[in-house]
Chains A and B, each alone.
Chain A
Amino acid sequence: MFNVNFTGEFVAFFIFSVLIISGAVLMVSFTKVVHMVVSLAAVFIGIAGMFVLLQAEFLAFVQVLIYAGAVSILMIFGIMMTKHQDAEADRSRPLHETLTAIGALALFGILFYAIRQSEFPEPEQPLSQATDNTMEIGKLLFTNYVVPFELVSVLLTVAFIGAIVLAKKEAD
């Protein structure tokens, strides 16, 4: 089952997965909020690398741009605008944490079991490498997915206006 060929893709996957997992674990285990955000940025970049491996170059670009860039920065702004005890865990909740760990591990166990048990047939025809990925997505966006695309633009507008209204000081 683990007889994988040491292809270039596998090596790259291995490197990225190490980056992602270590970033995620560090994010959970760090105590300072800024460190957490930085490790999370590493995770985002790792995922962008995986997108590249999966021949989704445009998505990888978007991932870096939006997640590693915008969202991380947004989070840092959020951190700066609120007050934090640097050292968290002033009150530990051992029962709560244990139960959550058990739950998360059990969920992973079930998922892993399901993944191992499933048969994934080989794709009938691989995704064509020839065409430009970004071009293809652009075409799709403005043909098949034009309505969702426009709706997303509305959603984003509403979200940003809402965010401004919410975050605005009420006193003025």
Chain B
Amino acid sequence: MLSSYLTMAAILFCIGLYGALVKRNAVIILLSIELMLNAVNLNLVAFSKYGVVPSLTGQMFTLFSIAVAAAEAAVGIAVLIALFRARGTVNVDEYDEMRR
């Protein structure tokens, strides 16, 4: 059963990765990153039940991960709004300051 969860997480992770790299809208990219984080959480919880030594530690880890993800989402959205104010767009392909 464990491998099914892991496969499920892998699928989710890859879809998130694809979305993060292809979508132009910065909000969607943030969403895709949440998707990837969720895939990781799923892995952690699956191991906490089906791992060699089942324990609650995996769930604790997930809990912290969720907290950090929430903080990341909040800060990410704030940065996005500030950027939008400065540049008038949320399309990441128009944020090319790194080239200059």
Contact = CB atoms under 8 A, between A and B. Distances in A.
A–B direct touch, CB within 8 Å, in complex?
yes
Interface of A: 4, 9-10, 13, 17, 20-21, 24-25, 27-28, 33, 36-37, 40, 43-44, 47, 50-51, 54-56, 58-59, 62-63, 66-67, 70-71, 74-75, 77-79, 81-84, 88-89, 91, 96-97, 100-101, 103-105, 107-108, 111-112, 115-116, 118, 120-121, 123-127, 133, 136-137, 140-141, 144-145, 148, 152, 155-156, 159-160, 162-167, 169
Interface in B1-41: 1-8, 10-19, 21-25, 27-28, 30-32, 34-35, 38, 41
Interface of B: 1-8, 10-19, 21-25, 27-28, 30-32, 34-35, 38, 41-42, 45-46, 48-56, 59-60, 62-64, 66-75, 77-82, 84-85, 88-90, 93
Among B17, B54, B74, which residue has the most Cβ atoms of chain A within 10 A? B74
A76 to B, nearest CB: 9
19 contacts: A17-B8, A21-B8, A27-B32, A28-B18, A43-B12, A47-B38, A50-B45, A59-B41, A63-B66, A66-B66, A67-B66, A74-B73, A78-B30, A79-B27, A82-B27, A88-B23, A111-B14, A120-B3, A163-B77
Contacts of B15: 21, 24-25, 27-28, 104
A155 B67 contact: yes
Given A43-B38, A156-B71, A127 B49 contact: yes
A103 B19 CA distance: 12
B35 A24 contact: yes
Contact of B59 (A10, A56, A66): A56
Nearest to B73: A71
B71 A47 contact: no
A152 B64 contact: yes
Interchain residue pairs A-B with the least CB separation, the first 10 = A159-B71, A163-B78, A166-B78, A111-B10, A167-B78, A78-B77, A127-B54, A108-B14, A104-B18, A24-B15
